[in-house]
Amino acid sequence: MIKAGIIGATGYAGGELVRILAGHKDVEIIWYGSRSYIDKRYADVYRNMFQIVDDKCMDDNIEELAGQADVIFTATPQGFCASMMNEEILSRTKIVDLSADYRIKDVAVYEKWYGIEHKSPQFIEEAVYGLCEVNRGDVKKARLVANPGCYTTCSILTAYPLAKEGLIDMNTLIIDAKSGTSGAGRGAKTANLYCEVNENIKAYGVASHRHTPEIEEQLGYAANEQVVINFTPHLVPMNRGILVTEYASLKKDVTYEDVKSVYDRYYQNEKFVRVLDEGVCPETKWVEGSNYVDIGFKIDPRTNRIIMMGAIDNLVKGAAGQAVQNMNLMFGLPEWEGLELIPVFP
């Protein structure tokens, strides 16, 4: 059995990690780390775990945990993992970090967008960006994986094949994204109160959202050029889900069949990417509770643009599910182990 520890186990992403790993036949959770709930029963924090998890929450002592766990998931705010990381920890255990600390290769870009000093930049180059569908081979050999962000996972996978094949003008790419409120975390914030969110939709982080450079960097690798995008996220009154709608000018005349064949070539063997039938648009309700990404597209010959659409569950494929997918690869397990979660409806 793989012994797993979770730092930040009582946040939304941490709670989803517990839910998924509790059903994973090859994993035993040995550490439910939570600075806010030390010595409190985990099932008293999340009552859905009553008579399923009997353990109490522990602290966030990652150095002690490294001596006991085969893998540590850090579902923590930006800066925590970087401040704790050292060679001794990495020599004793594997790390899957759900924060942004090791996602961006240019430390100056990270510090500019996140507004904090990076405490262990010496590990940035080694860290593997854990988008399994793109970096599967590197993930298998990694001891430190930077789990991608939720907006970024959906945004990158939706456009990746067309960027890679040079079908779209990357200078024209605009990404409009909408997320459920769980993406903002479990901390108490006025902007996330029921009365603030319900019956409302709003843009935020306009031209300044910190997932922007992550999307630009990864799509830049795909297109083999520097990419600068407009990315605008919106908050919608639902618990889970991300829907992205991406617009770009086409670089050549293509038919539906041309584009579909590109998506199929990249994703037909990817268990968790579902390229939808013609005329079907992704919806968050059809991926909720699952590790799937649903992708669709529409060519607009009038404007010579293509509209690409993607939907994920931000807490599963956008966070915990992808983290488990990475863990499976790191330990030589079937990539889908513990993740064959059928979307929940209604």
Whether the Cβ atoms of residue 300 and residue 50 lie closer than 8 Å to each other: no
| End-to-end Cα spacing for the chain | 34
CA-based nearest residue to 184, from 151, 207, 156, 227? 151
CB-count exposure of residue 200 (10 Å: 0-12, 13-18, 19+): exposed
Distance of CA 251 to the CA centre of its chain: 29
Buried b (16+ CB within 10 A) or exposed e, 282-321: bebebbbbbbbbbbbbebeeeeebbbbbbbbbbbbbbbbb
CA atoms within 13 A on the CB side of 284: 20
Tokens linked to 73: 């998931």
Could you give the CA distance from residue 88 to residue 33 in angstroms, rounded to a whole number? 20
Q: How many residues does the chain have?
A: 346
Using the structure block, give the residue that is written with the tokens 């799937």: 292
Catalytic site includes residue 150: yes
Largest CA distance in the chain: 62
Say how far apart CA 153 and CA 146 lie, in whole Å. Answer: 12
3-state secondary structure of 318: helix
Cα dihedral 296, 210, 87, 34, rounded to 10, equals: -90
Q: State the catalytic residue, choosing from 57, 81, 132, 150.
A: 150
Task: State how far Cα 21 lies from the chain centre.
Answer: 17
| Beta bridge pairs of residue 275 | 295
Kindly list the catalytic residues: 150
